[in-house]
Structure 1
Amino acid sequence: MTGREELPLDSDVEVEESANRLRPVHLRLRFVLLVALGGVLGTAGREGLALLLPTTHVPWATFTVNLVGAFVLGALLEALLRRGEDHAHRRAIRLSVGTGVLGGFTTYSSLATDTVLLRDDPGTALAYALGTVVLGVLATAAGVAVASLVPEGER
């Protein structure tokens, strides 16, 4: 066995040979651009939703995008898993939509900032922070459950 065959590979560090060089997935321009483009779209979607939702004491826009994003990510990853291994177009979808769009759409840094800004109302701050995390886990599980109802595709 060569050293390459002995190393465990996962989908994000898998390498391809190009001119006798090994290139990790995160260094392939195609995938970097897919994530970047998806991030732009997701961030624009988050801003659009923030402009639509009324501004109140509780940051509902951040709360909403994080829960919707958690649900969609759970459904997306389960659906992709049911369709086969993380290669070719499935990897491109996972990276562009999962990492890019949903990474740009969701915003846990804003969750942290918003929680600090609610410090004058500790009960609301605690309910907001814990509620987002707990409901986010449940939303992810719901997304997985919904996607699992769809029959498995060709592997």
Structure 2
Amino acid sequence: MSEKLKKLIDYEVIMPAIMIIFALSYFINVSDNPRTGRLFPQIICIIMLLLLVRIIIVNIKSKLISETGSVEVTGVEETVKSKKFTERKGLVLFTFIVMMFLYYLAILLVGYIYATFIFVVTSMLVLGYKNKKVILLVTVIFLLVIYVFFVLGFHFVLPQGSLIKGL
């Protein structure tokens, strides 16, 4: 393998490539099973595949022209910065891993709607959003879209949680 190719292939290219393999295998699996609803999973897989390919292209582009110091991404000039894994990023990553575990437990206890409200608000605060009106508006709109799409559209029952079921 050439030295230039080795520089291009790292976790930012390998992980999306692995995810493409999983998405393709899931797409094939769903397509082969005639007894299940296939349309929605197929649409999600196609969207996921397109986004993963875009991620790979953007990452390779940014690595190829990192010597020049700038890259054109989605029409906006952005400066390519070094991709050091700083302590702040590590702390945010660890915080999100813990938050996802707590989110899962909260869904089991208080249900999807309340747990998601708390999770989205907390996530936005951890990511540095300070405008509380925007945080609440985004969270409420997100929950309304999920509710309308899944409960009213697909007639799914969202998890209610063990504490809510007892009321």
TM over 0.5: no
Larger radius of gyration: 2
